[in-house]
Amino acid sequence: MTNVEGLTTILKQETESYEKLGTLAEQKRQIIIDRDLDALEQSANQEQKLSDELKRLERQRIDILKTFTDDADVIPTVSDVVNALDAESAECAALRKARDAILAAAGQVQFLNSQNEVLLQQAMEMVEFDLTLFKSLRQAPESGNYGKDAYSTGELLPSGGFDAKQ
């Protein structure tokens, strides 16, 4: 197997992993809406496994890309390799197709994750609103009594509301 074929294979495997991440991100949208914390935890665990796999594949891709240059400090990109190949070759076409597929899959995952981020932010705002509402419902109003120093005494009204005694 040539380096170009190996690079194409790695890119295809990365694309598959990104597509799986995209599927998880779509499922996570409904999980967030349903506020299913157990399912959210399971989804996060699956995402972590896929992220570990992507990291492993990335290291392999970088190792293969290093073989395309003599300078150890410079790692060419996949686009650099595509541009260096004969544009008419089958290897170049396959590599270009694999590069475009991974870019599309990663872009879709990024889009879905940004949508989920907005949903999570809105969910957090609703939780904060609910907490503030519950806190205010449990807090009794203060009386209008003032001390000698002209500051409110901070006394709470009786739980029944206003004192009707005169």
The predicted-structure confidence for 35-56, as pLDDT tens digits, reads as follows 898 999 999 999 999 999 999 9
User: Domain 3-138 classified CATH 1.20.58.300?
Assistant: yes
124-139 pLDDT per residue, tens: 999 899 888 887 776 6
Q: Is the pLDDT of residue 157 over 90?
A: no
Q: Which residue has the tokens 């896929």?
A: 50
Convert the pLDDT of each residue in 56-108 to its tens digit: 999 999 999 998 888 777 889 999 998 888 888 899 999 999 999 999 999 99
Burial of 116 (0-12, 13-18, 19+ CB in 10 A): middle
CA-nearest of 29, 35, 28 to 123 is 35
CB 61 within 8 A of CB 7: yes
Q: Secondary structure of the chain: what % helix, strand, coil (to 5)?
A: 70, 0, 25
Distance CA 12, CA 9 (A): 5
